[in-house]
Amino acid sequence: MIKSRICEILGIKYPIFQGGMAWIADGKLAAAVSEGGGLGIIAAGNAPASYVREQIRIAKSLTSKPVGVNIMLMSPYADEVARAVVEEGTEVVTTGAGNPSKYVKAWKDADIKIIPVVASVSMAKLMTRLGVTALIAEGGESGGHVGELTTMVLVPQVCDATDLPVIAAGGIADGRGVAAAFMLGAEGVQLGTRFLSAYECTIHPNYKEKILKATDLCTMVTGKRLGHPVRSLRTKFARDYSKAEYSAMPDEELEQLAVGALRLAVVEGDLERGCFLAGQIAAMVKKEQSAAEIVKEIMEDAEPILKGASKWVE
Ligand code: TUI
């Protein structure tokens, strides 16, 4: 069994997190992952605190194991969600798409375990100084909002910059990816895209089908011009948006193009206007499974690979 500090700190069986995917990672999916021995995470995304409270309660009705909440720091509701997690007695908070410094004191006072996503060494050092619990080093292979560096490059540099446990994210789909992440110094992994095919993941069937049929080159990054690069499936929406980015279209109009596109993908399965966020490993997601099966399969597949690594050394 693969164990690390993160299992003890969080009280989980396997050091694997389910990424906090906006519009997708609800209380039901998070509870299923936690029941399977990983850490399920509810995504606040751009939703108000009332939605997050409701999902926390749903998760708590389905599992007594720890469940995390991811706070997307660019959300207009980030402040109220940051207060709600304290009031709801959330055990673990992860953050993304920004700097969570202003919330750290209140969360520490409430004994919440704080695990920010970092996309650079400087942010890793800053978070370490603030006394957070662990770090998620997320490379640009991931779906959604992406940083500049790849997982292969970011993880070892973040591990060198901190004594905290590091969770690797971005580009991990199976046991091989887990083993590789541990070789880079990580003590845990976070996967998003692989959980899109979970039975408990209630995205529109069109979304699931697109993931299951994806091929290696099927994602692209858009949004660089406005400073919010986002990786998604190469759909009509993504190609149109990309074209608009390189046109003379004013920034405000460009911003308007993307409004509501995540909801259209997740809820409506809108193949024309939806933005289907997905990581580069989408092509490695081949079948529907329960969340618990995904967790167990990935972590058990990683074991013989890590054990067998000595075969390379004479
Ligand atoms: O946050 C994510 N992935 C996301 S958020 C999201 S919702 C969204 N919708 C529309 C536009 C943009 C986002 C979809 N996917 N991943 C975690 C992550 N955080 N990746 C990179 C970062 C990050 C980047 C910069 C974390 C900190 C950071 O610090 C910069 C600073 O100094 O504030």
- Calculate how far, in angstroms, residue 95's C-alpha sits from the geometric centre of ligand 1: 8
The confidence score (pLDDT) of residue 71 equals 98
Average pLDDT over residues 211-222: 98
Tokens matching residue 128: 């370490």
141 close to ligand 1 (CB < 6 Angstrom): no
Query: Is the pTM of the predicted complex or chain greater than 0.85?
Result: yes
The confidence score (pLDDT) of residue 198 equals 98
Average pLDDT over residues 182-199: 98
Ligand 1: which of 24, 117, 135 to mutate, most ligand atoms within 8 Å of CB?
Answer: 117
- Calculate how far, in angstroms, residue 268's C-alpha sits from the geometric centre of ligand 1: 24
The confidence score (pLDDT) of residue 121 equals 98
- Calculate how far, in angstroms, residue 284's C-alpha sits from the geometric centre of ligand 1: 23
Burial class from Cβ neighbours inside 10 Å (0-12, 13-18, 19+) for residue 195 reads buried
The confidence score (pLDDT) of residue 44 equals 98
The confidence score (pLDDT) of residue 27 equals 98
Average pLDDT over residues 247-276: 96
The confidence score (pLDDT) of residue 7 equals 98
Q: Which residue ranges form the domains of the chain, and what is each CATH number?
A: 5-202 (3.20.20.70), 219-277 (no CATH)
96 close to ligand 1 (CB < 6 Angstrom): yes
pLDDT tens readout for residues 127-174 = 999 999 999 999 999 999 999 999 999 999 999 999 999 999 999 999
Average pLDDT over residues 198-208: 98
Residue burial 140-166, b: 16+ Cβ < 10 Å; e: rest = bbbbbbbbebbbeebbbbbbebbebbb
44 close to ligand 1 (CB < 6 Angstrom): no
Average pLDDT over residues 102-126: 98
The confidence score (pLDDT) of residue 35 equals 98
**Distance between CA 283 and CA 217 in Å, rounded?**
8
145 close to ligand 1 (CB < 6 Angstrom): yes
Listed residue (17, 119, 110) closest to 70, CA to CA: 17
Q: Whose CA is nearest to atom 22 of ligand 1?
A: 97
| Residue 113 neighbours by CB under 8 Å, 6+ apart | 9, 10, 91, 92, 93, 133, 134
Strand 16-18 and strand 40-43: the pairing is: unpaired
Average pLDDT over residues 32-47: 98
